[in-house]
Chain A
Amino acid sequence: MSRTIDDVVSPTQTNTIPADISGQMLDLDEDDDFEVFSKDSTLADGSMFNASMQTSPGSMVNQCKFEEDEDGDSKDIFITVDNPESHVTAIETFITYRVLTKTTRSEFDNSEYEVRRRYQDFHWLKGKLEEAHSTLIVHPLPEKFVVKGMVERFNGDFIETRRKALHKFLNRIADHPILSCSEDFKVFLSAQAWELTTYKKQGPGFLSRMGETVRAVANSVRGVKNRPEEFTAIQEYVEDFSNKISSLDKVTQRIVKEQKEYLEELKEYGPTYTLWSGSEEELAEQLKGVAGCIERCCQETEEQVGHLSDTLVPVLHEYVLCAETLKAVLRRRDNIQAEFEAKNEALATKKVDRDAESSDLGFVWGSLLGKNPEEARHQRQERLDGEIEELKVEIDKLEDRVEWANNALKGDWVRWQRSMRGDLKSAFLSTAEKNVDYYEKCLAVWETFLLSQRTEPSEETDRDNTS
């Protein structure tokens, strides 16, 4: 599917071009008109657009298209997250990570940026992206809090795991054709700390965000009536996938636990052979040999467990979070459709109203005000006609919005499935490879020992002959 986002937006809309249009120019292949949308409220009318609609088609740059085939060769932005550092203030202690960006994209002023960000900042970015692109699939962040096991927040492993996840998070966004063009993303990567703080404070006010939430809740309560089959199918899949991936996550963590306990016992096992060798003469060498083998196997086991923890566990955990993201995306899509459906119903009701023969109440009012009934009815008709026209315009916009949301989701769904398959396949492959490697190394250890034993019997028979 190759469509530019701008096609979805109503082509009849023309607006003044705001002064700051950096990052918001659309490259048009079909239409001559410039269609620009900005974040400020010149267009904004709560009932026509909500904040998310404003920025989603707007934050487009150059070649942002939904394309099935993404080739790594065209990667023009490289991000690393590293170098965690602890910061202590009077109020709190927190960790910041260095975010290093190298890019050739023109909307960036420089080609290299180095900033420090804390978890809060990543969380903010995710929120903004989801707000602006409610039906796109944003890769999950590592969790805010770690409950199980009461892991120390400042424990080395925890920080490293988080760092890797944050790295992946940013890179997934960078790979995304639409999300990577987001202004918020650009600011996140390039702004200095204080600049970011100022920038964060912008945006739709509290009240409009409130209204947003209320409407969203209302829509989710109402529910969607005619959900297209394909989204129901996706939802069912996501349910099942969520269950399966959670199970796999738990199973893998259990394996790690069992393996660690096995390692603990194994560490005590080798020394018993060494102890025994102290009491023996003929057998001493052999016993020490066995002890050595067990010890080396311990080392291999330790490595294997480490690999499992570093490679498979984080990926499975990520996809547990992904499943939740997917559920949220589907919900938001449903809400958009629900809103559209609601307005449609309102229209139908209004039409019925207008076409009604008479209205006793209106007649009464009209007569009270000294108007004659004919005039009153005519005025009422006109008023209703006006309202119906307004509704129709709104509905058109909402319909477009639904269509855009659906297409965005469909495109991203295909993308997501592909990366899910890739990620999980490579994680399991890596695990299997490591396990083969582990057994091969242990095999070598014992085979070497066995080889050394098979040469000894000849010494023994020599002794027998001489005795």
Chain B
Amino acid sequence: MRQQHTTQEDMMADSGPKEVAVIGNTDLTSAELDNNIKNTMVEIEKGTSLLRKMEISVAEAEKRTGKNTVNMQEIYTVYLIETRPVDALTEGITPDSLWRRYSEFELLRNYLLVTYPFVVVAPLPEKRAEIVWHKLSADNMDPDFVERRRVGLENFLLRVASHPVLCNDNIFYIFLTEEKDWKEMVYETGFQAKADSRLKAVNAAFRVKNPDGRFTELKHYSDELQTVLSQLLRVRARVADRLYGVYKVHGNYGRVFSEWSAIEKEMGDGLQSAGHHMDAYAASVDDILEEEEHYADQLKEYLFYTDALRAVCRKHELTQFELEMVALDLACKKQQKEELVTGTVRTFSLKGMTSKLFGQETAEQREAKLQVLEQQLEEGEEAVKEKNTESDEFVKTAWVDIERFKDQKDRDLKEALISYAVMQISMCKKGIQVWTNAKECFNKM
């Protein structure tokens, strides 16, 4: 079933597909909730020019076979990306489309991560189904899983398209519009070279002395959020499993009531119809849990977001560390100059040692050294200035995006929790109906 990239607030209208999609700014006209309008306006002002021009969706999924890199047969899934100019909606123009597989999405995301390290980049849906309850198979080929992945990929594209910075990226645009040669283009950007090595990042994380406190806090928060959401999702899956069991066993009532009604005269009719209601009850759990799966996906998205948060924190630590290193180096050089000028050796140095051992240097030698040091000092000053600017820039832009992310998260999760309550209400209403009907039937017995 195709799902439009309707707003998450759509679920307030008690019907229709529950969608994991981007917030507010896509459907200018729909505004089903009053507060949605306010949010929409805010986002537009930040410049989501892309979405004002084009409608994006991941329409379908298909299986393909082909040879992989080691020349072995493999089956993989491709997803159809459709784009259409916004004003063409009402004219019924067929959308442009191209096929992409999951690995290409991954490539796109990695590119974005490296190119915009100050952005909290939206996560991709799970590669493999991990936190599942028993009815869902962990098989990547399972149609339900593929469908949920399709929705997740669409959500990812919409998140990127609605991001004030990312939406202007050319590679992203081409990802959406040109099937061939995109990969080559991405590699040509040389982003892979720009990527910080993991080792560098870990090293920096250990040794950085004065990271901005807010980033440290953010790191802690993302760790906490990850732990908490993992646990929540795991327990939820177990609860869903058990609920499934309870409902399905009632189906047995249906069967036995039906058989029993055959041998009863007075009670036959009542039993027979009660049995039907028991069957309906047992069947109703499938829809209930399907809906809940969407809720779980919404939470999962934020579980995966924690990685992006941590990535931004790491980048800050790295830039801060590099700044500190450069500043340290500068301080060191200054120290050296001072020593050279005043002739004192306050700190231990090889120079000091050798001069003690081999005697003082000549005035010319000192002069020469001073010159070199001056040069180095100048360069050092420049480097520190640069690094400072870089770091400040980073902190500034990162923090803007983090604030944006926080607002988005609060909004989305608030809506998710409300939709969860709505789901529970719907489930209770169904239960009331079924058992009221059953009661009627039992009354006739």
Residues of A within 8 A of B (CB): 237, 240-241, 244-245, 247-248, 251, 254-255, 258-259, 261-262, 264-266, 268-269, 272-273, 275-276, 278-279, 282-283, 286-287, 290, 293, 297, 421, 424-425, 428-429, 432-433, 435-436, 438-440, 442-443, 446-447, 449-450, 453, 457, 460-461, 464
Q: How far is the CA of A251 from the CA of B250 in the complex (A)?
A: 8
Known: A237-B263, A421-B445, A432-B435. A251 touches B229 (CB 8 A): no
Known: A248-B256, A262-B243, A421-B267. A446 touches B424 (CB 8 A): yes
Q: List 10 A-B contacts (CB under 8 A).
A: A237-B263, A244-B256, A248-B256, A254-B252, A261-B245, A269-B239, A272-B236, A283-B413, A428-B274, A450-B421
Q: How far is the CA of A436 from the CA of B439 in the complex (A)?
A: 9
Task: Give chain A nearest CB distance to B244 CB in angstroms.
Answer: 9
Q: Is the interface of B mostly helix, strand, loop or mixed?
A: helix
Contact A262–B245 (Cβ < 8 Å) = yes
Known: A439-B428, A440-B432. A259 touches B246 (CB 8 A): yes
Contact A279–B224 (Cβ < 8 Å) = yes
Q: How far is the CA of A143 from the CA of B436 in the complex (A)?
A: 34
Contact A432–B245 (Cβ < 8 Å) = no
A262 to chain B: closest residue by CB:
B242
Contacts of B431 in A (CB 8 A): 435-436, 438-439
Contacts of A279 in B (CB 8 A): 221, 224-225, 228
Q: Does B35 contact A (CB under 8 A)?
A: yes
A-B pairs with beta carbons under 8 A, tally: 152
Contacts of B432 in A (CB 8 A): 436, 439-440, 443
Contact B445–A255 (Cβ < 8 Å) = no
Q: Does B238 contact A (CB under 8 A)?
A: yes
Q: How far is the CA of A435 from the CA of B442 in the complex (A)?
A: 13
Task: Give chain B nearest CB distance to A22 CB in angstroms.
Answer: 41
Contact B232–A276 (Cβ < 8 Å) = yes
Contacts of A435 in B (CB 8 A): 431, 435, 438
Contact B442–A251 (Cβ < 8 Å) = no
In the complex, how many residues of chain B place their beta carbon closer than 8 angstroms to a beta carbon of chain A? 54
Contact B249–A428 (Cβ < 8 Å) = no
Q: Does B74 contact A (CB under 8 A)?
A: no
Contacts of B42 in A (CB 8 A): 464
* Other contacts beyond A421-B445, A453-B414: 8, CB < 8 A: A247-B256, A248-B253, A258-B249, A262-B239, A262-B246, A425-B443, A432-B442, A439-B435
Task: Give chain A nearest CB distance to B262 CB in angstroms.
Answer: 8
One of A261, A282, A429 near B443 (C-beta < 8 A): A429
B439 to chain A: closest residue by CB:
A432
Contacts of A439 in B (CB 8 A): 428-429, 431-432, 435
Q: Does B235 contact A (CB under 8 A)?
A: yes
Q: How far is the CA of A168 from the CA of B203 in the complex (A)?
A: 78
Contacts of B235 in A (CB 8 A): 265, 268-269, 272
One of B34, B274, B436 near A457 (C-beta < 8 A): B34
Contact A293–B421 (Cβ < 8 Å) = yes
Task: Give chain B nearest CB distance to A255 CB in angstroms.
Answer: 5
Contacts of A255 in B (CB 8 A): 246, 249-250
Q: How far is the CA of A443 from the CA of B238 in the complex (A)?
A: 22
A261 to chain B: closest residue by CB:
B242
Q: How far is the CA of A224 from the CA of B268 in the complex (A)?
A: 32
Q: Does B259 contact A (CB under 8 A)?
A: yes
Contacts of B287 in A (CB 8 A): none
Known: A265-B235, A439-B431, A453-B418. A461 touches B35 (CB 8 A): yes
Q: How far is the CA of A87 from the CA of B144 in the complex (A)?
A: 62
Contact A293–B424 (Cβ < 8 Å) = yes
Q: Does B425 contact A (CB under 8 A)?
A: yes
Q: How far is the CA of A158 from the CA of B239 in the complex (A)?
A: 29
Task: Give chain B nearest CB distance to A174 CB in angstroms.
Answer: 26
Known: A269-B239, A279-B225, A424-B445. A244 touches B259 (CB 8 A): yes
Contacts of B435 in A (CB 8 A): 432-433, 435-436, 439
One of B34, B231, B263, B436 near A275 (C-beta < 8 A): B231
Q: Does B214 contact A (CB under 8 A)?
A: no
Task: Give chain A nearest CB distance to B267 CB in angstroms.
Answer: 6
Contact A272–B246 (Cβ < 8 Å) = no
B231 to chain A: closest residue by CB:
A272
One of B241, B263, B429, B442 near A241 (C-beta < 8 A): B263
Contacts of A429 in B (CB 8 A): 439, 442-443
Contacts of B417 in A (CB 8 A): 283, 286-287, 290, 453
Task: Give chain B nearest CB distance to A52 CB in angstroms.
Answer: 30
Contact B429–A443 (Cβ < 8 Å) = yes
Q: Does B385 contact A (CB under 8 A)?
A: no
Contacts of A278 in B (CB 8 A): 224
Query: Please, what's the 1-or-0 string for B98-120, where 1 marks a CB less than 8 Å from any CB in chain A?
Result: 00000000000000000000000
Q: How far is the CA of A196 from the CA of B69 in the complex (A)?
A: 92
Q: How far is the CA of A465 from the CA of B399 in the complex (A)?
A: 21
Contact B439–A290 (Cβ < 8 Å) = no
Q: Does B422 contact A (CB under 8 A)?
A: yes
Task: Give chain A nearest CB distance to B220 CB in angstroms.
Answer: 9
Query: Please, what's the 1-or-0 string for B112-142, where 1 marks a CB less than 8 Å from any CB in chain A?
Result: 0000000000000000000000000000000
